[in-house]
Amino acid sequence: MAERSLATVDPEIAELIKAEERRQADTVKLIPSENYVSRAVLEATGTVLTNKYSEGYPGRRYYEGQQVIDQIETLAIERAKALFGVRHANVQPYSGSPANLAVYTAFANPGDTVMGMGLPFGGHLTHGWTVSVTGKWFNAVRYGVRRDTGRIDMDEVRELALQHRPKLIFAGGTAIPRTIDFGAFAEIAREVGAVLVADIAHIAGLVVGGAHPTPVGHADVISTTTHKTLRGPRGAMLLTDSDEYAAALNKAVFPGLQGGPHNHTTAAIAVALKEAATEEFKAYAHQVVANARALAEELLARGFDLVSGGTDNHLILIDLTSKGVAGKPAAQALDRAGLEANYNTVPFDPRKPFDPSGLRIGTPSVTSRGMREPEMRQIAAWMDEVITALAKGDPEETIARVHREVSELTAKFPTPGLDC
């Protein structure tokens, strides 16, 4: 079969990819779970490694021809162990949700009691929420945050744990703007005999960069994605210091939940882990936090209500109730202005999840482009202008002007991994 380029074989898809490249280059990306990978990670993702099936683990495969793949996966494993400071790492989970499902498979049976942060308070679907299989197959107990502070109520966590004696306790989530006290969670888990799982999908890059306390030494198992603040491909990892837990997790991932790993993703994870071990990455992680704090301070100064009053990490959760607009129309208006955010529930939200009161924003992507505190203050000003115009009912002129100004800003900051 003759070799032909993507543009020749499928010009429609090729043009859509180009359009997405232009959109990403022309947008201030504020969704905290998104980032830009480096050119090196992007190159590793699109390689012939996708042609190879590799069920099993290095040295113990069910297919021949693994001489190179075993070396690649071993590199990824060793780099993960060194970077996070753990004894065992599994780099095969396809994404964060399957990684968390592997934890359930390893340590719980259907019907067992598990505990995690409730979705409306910042938890993840796979921590036992009702619409997830983890909420259907397990008896899920959910903790939240204090109404007066917006922070995790550790007294409630302990009371619920003592009352329900869960097999698993999840610490972490998707909309937590404050530092997670893994030590306090570990004390509670030990008291009730639970396995503590630190889900650091959002903050893994901050952890290895020294910008957030590590769960290592506290959590029995660490689950993380490899994108977000870690700036890798769309994959996941499971980490532990326990030989026994490592064996259970490996069996849960394969053959428990999936077949062969995505070898091109494994290679890209290895590249991202090598990048994350540099001093440059450490500086990046701290700048992510500095940018988030600058953005939060400017939003507060402009009258925005922030859940917990600010941020300690990469993420800001905004309650728009006082602004007279809901999260969904605000996110859509900001998107038209070139400011990409996502609508999100806030704690004790009276609105429905698909039309909530809040916005979730973050600084990993803008920091990857080299933006710093002055740009954060400008972004806050643009957000304020768009949302104020939206509340007045005639935002389109403001949206058009802001989008032009956003394009002028993004032109000054190259998009990592792209030519635009």
Binding residues for (6S)-5,6,7,8-tetrahydrofolate: 119, 123-125, 244
Does the annotation count 228 as an active-site position?
A: yes
Does the annotation count 234 as an active-site position?
A: yes
Does the annotation count 15 as an active-site position?
A: no
Does the annotation count 36 as an active-site position?
A: no
Which among 26, 55, 181, 187 is annotated as catalytic?
55
Does the annotation count 29 as an active-site position?
A: no
3-state SS string for the chain = CCCCCHHHHCHHHHHHHHHHHHHHHCCEECCCCCCCCCHHHHHHHCCHHHHCCCCEECCEECCCCCHHHHHHHHHHHHHHHHHHCCCEEECCCCCHHHHHHHHHHHHCCCCCEEEEECHHHCCCHHHCCCCCHHHHHCEEEEECECCCCCCECHHHHHHHHHHHCCCEEEECCCCCCCCCCHHHHHHHHHHHCCEEEEECCCCHHHHHCCCCCCCCCCCCEEEEECCHHHCCCCCEEEEECCHHHHHHHHHHHHHHHCCCCCHHHHHHHHHHHHHHCCHHHHHHHHHHHHHHHHHHHHHHHCCCEEHHHCCCCCEEEEECHHHCCCHHHHHHHHHHCCEECEEECCCCCCCCCCCCCEEEEECHHHHHCCCCHHHHHHHHHHHHHHHHHHHHCCCHHHHHHHHHHHHHHHCCCCCCCCCC
Annotated binding site: 119, 123-125, 244
Which among 29, 167, 228, 328 is annotated as catalytic?
228
Which among 73, 199, 275, 340 is annotated as catalytic?
199
Does the annotation count 53 as an active-site position?
A: yes
Which among 21, 26, 53, 165 is annotated as catalytic?
53
Which among 174, 225, 265, 398 is annotated as catalytic?
225
Report d(CA 164, CA 349) in Å as an integer.
26
Which among 61, 234, 351, 377 is annotated as catalytic?
234
Report, as residue numbers or ranges, the catalytic residues. 53, 55, 199, 225, 228, 234
